[in-house]
Structure 1
Amino acid sequence: MRALICRNWGDIGTLELGEMPVPEPGPDQVLLDIVATSANYADAIMVAGKYQTKPEFPFAPGLEGAGLVVKLGKGVENLKIGDRVMAKLAHGGFAEQAVAEASETWSLFDRMSFADGAAFAVAYLSAHVALRWQGRLEAGETLLVLGAAGGSGMAAVEIGKTMGARVIGAASSEKKLQAVLQHGADHAVNYSSGNLKDQVLELTRGEGVDVCFDPVGGDLFDSALSSLGWGGRHIHYGFVGGVPRVPANRLLVKHRSAVGSSLRYFQNFRPDLLVQSMAELAAAYDKGAFNPVISHRLPLERGVEALRLLTERKAVGKVVVEVAPKKEINQ
């Protein structure tokens, strides 16, 4: 099978298109014909050898994908051959075939394309568990979304609105701010040209926000923490801008909290909440609440370019890699 192959830890530029053996599904796993995958920042971290898991060489990156079930491992009962699905992957999305856990593979929603499925699984499910279970976002509260023009940021904006929150989207350029507003945010602030805390406090009449969804980290964290009101919750979702230090004294003074959110936790320890999150996402999607933004669609041959668009923050929403676009048309 064709794949974008990682043979050594390093920059994503070291990835090369080549041939790999087709993987074999084990118990409780399925083999997928990948139609589309999408780039995630974590793919670059994995290729660099700095991710939480380190696959054996050679491997293909790609933490999610959408396609067709072509083989069932022993014990799989929730899927059948031919099913149109989206899946969270350990790796392998940048290949023509990949193995997925059956419990982390879901049927595409009605009217959902493979491309939208590839853009949905990780971003929307991760954002939902973060806001629903870690941030405990409630209707009527105010949500601040950093990196709001990214894939997970756009998902958080939409999910926040479905939960009944007032949403402030924060991004680094006017172009991205316009995209965030068009995608449903009530307000948008530019943290590159102005002070984030001052802009947020002005919009909230000095009260601050209830929840901050933060996939950025770095220097932005300090201002984001100051944007929280009394009892505010800061969700550490990622650190594309660097890993921040959390000052405990500033949490105590205003009864704030800072929590991490990892999809792996829910997979390993609270799969019941993961099931509930996906059910709520499916219901909202059926009502037309979600519209995944895909700024670029590239073939597998340009997979490195797809990852570069993400790591260099040139994308709005998701970057999808079309592994087998003809199957999208035929299905």
Structure 2
Amino acid sequence: MQALRVEHLSDDLSGVALADVAEPERGAGEVKVRVAAASLNFPDLLMTQGGYQFKPEVPFTSGLEFAGEVLEADPASGFAPGHKVMGGNKTGAFAEIACVPAGKLSAMPAGMDFAAAAAMGAAYSTAFTGLVELGGLEEGQWVLVHGASGGVGLAACDLARALGARVIATTGSPAKAERIAALARPEAVITSEGRFREEVAQLTGGALADIVFDPVGGDVFDESTRCVAFGGKLVVVGFTSGRIAEVSTNIPLIKGFSIIGLRAGEYARRFPERGAAITRAIARLAEAGAISPAIDRTLPLSRWREGLEAMARRELVGKVVFVPGA
């Protein structure tokens, strides 16, 4: 079968190649799945460089998440051949066939196609864990979402709006603002890269943001500390800007806000019952048509370089979905 392999770490994707490899053998407790679609996430790009906190041993098959059809499973797993599933296990998704522990899979939401299911998992679980589980999102609150052109940022906008929040999206690319507005349908899209507090204050009538969702870090985080309402929450999702921000503790002390670190996957591993509840809640929203992932492009896996390079150049608005075998 074909799989996208990281043969050695590199900054220019020179260590990545589509290769013919042996079909994986299903281990105890695992489910064997024919992959119908797999979505690209920023950690996938970082792992080709050795820049992500999880560092799999090289060589490895890339890909965090996929959707597909069960080929083989233990009866006790709850899955059977023909079941449509979604999930992943940090690596192995960018292949024609994957073997994944049963606990890492869930049934696809009714009515959803493979591409949407592949694009939903990591992005929406991150958004839900940050905004709802840890952020305590309530209807009518103001939510400021940074990096709104990315899969996680768009998922946060989509989810917050579906749950009755008032969303302000930001992007460092004015060229993306119109597409973000059409996909995420926020109250407003802010395109200023440096100072945006005054715009947030004006939009919220001076109330500022109850929750700030920040996958960007750096200067955006610094300015975000000025945008959080008293008693609000600043959710740290990542630092795609490249700079890990620091904060003087007098700022959250005086403004009375909380800074919350978000690692959705780790949260689900430590609290599996809560992780399962989050997955069910997202599925209910998807089946009701309340949320839907934004897909920038769908590509055959043979065009993997196009997808990863577009992500590296920050051209995307939404997710890239790969179709193995196409």
- TM (norm. structure 1) is 0.93
SS at match of 2:197: helix
Contact 2:2 2:325 (8 Å CA) reproduced: no
Structure 1 residues 50 and 149: CA distance shift in structure 2, 3 A? closer
Q: Is the 8 A contact 2:297 2:320 kept in 1?
A: yes
Q: Distance in 1 between matches of 2:189 and 2:267?
A: 31
Is there any run of 5+ residues in structure 2 with no aligned partner, and where? none
Instruction: Report how far residue 251 of structure 1 moved.
Output: 1.0
Residue 71 (str. 1) matches residue 72 (str. 2): yes
Residue 117 of structure 1: aligned partner:
117
Match in the other structure for 2:5: 5
Say whether 1:235 aligns with 2:231. Answer: no
CA distance in 2, matches of 1:252, 1:76: 50
What is the aligned partner in structure 1 of residue 311 from structure 2? Answer: 310
Partner of 1:204: 204
Letter in 2 for 1:279: R
**Partner in structure 2 of residue 328 of structure 1:** none
State the shift of 1:13 in Å: 3.5
Name the CA distance, whole Å, in 2 between partners of 1:280 and 1:235: 20
Distance 1:244 1:25 in 2: 43
Whole-Å Cα distance in 2 between the matches of residues 175 and 53 of structure 1?
33
Per-residue deviation, 1:248: 1.5
What's the counterpart of residue 329 of structure 1? none
Partner residue of 1:220? 220
Cα distance in 1 for residues equivalent to 2:98 and 2:196: 42
Shift of 1:137: 1.1
Cα deviation, residue 18, structure 1: 0.9
**Conserved in 1, the CA contact under 8 Å of 2:180 and 2:317?**
no
**Unmatched runs of 5 consecutive residues or more in structure 1:** 326-331
1:29 aligns with 2:30: yes
Task: State how far apart, in whole Å, the 1-side matches of 2:111 and 2:123 are.
Answer: 19
Matches within 5 A, 1:1-331: 1-11=1-11, 12-72=13-73, 76-182=76-182, 183-192=184-193, 195-242=195-242, 243-325=244-326
Partners in 2 of 1:90 and 1:213 — Cα distance?
A: 23
**Deviation for aligned residue 1:273:** 1.4
Alignment: residue pair count: 323
CA separation in 2, counterparts of 1:221 and 1:299? 36
**Could you tell me which amino acid in structure 2 is paired with residue 250 of structure 1?**
I
TM-score by length of 2: 0.94
Identity %: 34
Deviation at 1:173, TM superposition (A): 2.8
Per-residue displacement from partner, 1:217-256 (whole Å, max 9, x unpaired)?
Answer: 1221111121111011111111111221132121111111
RMSD between aligned alpha carbons?
Answer: 1.6
Deviation at 1:76, TM superposition (A): 4.1
Report the AA paired with residue 10 of structure 2.
Answer: G
Deviation at 1:25, TM superposition (A): 2.7
Mean alpha-carbon deviation: is it higher for 15-24 or for 178-187?
Answer: 178-187
Matched letter for residue 166 of structure 2: R
Residue type of the alignment partner of 2:26: P
Give the residue type in structure 2 aligned to 1:174.
P
Amino acid at match of 2:186: A
SS at match of 2:278: helix
8 A contact 1:63–1:91 mirrored in 2: yes
CA displacement at 1:132 relative to structure 2: 1.0
SS in 1 for 2:119: helix
Moved more, 179-188 or 80-89: 179-188
Counterparts of 2:289 and 2:75 in 1: how far apart (Å)?
Answer: 34
Task: Tell me if the contact between 1:27 and 1:75 (Cα under 8 Å) persists in the aligned partners.
Answer: no
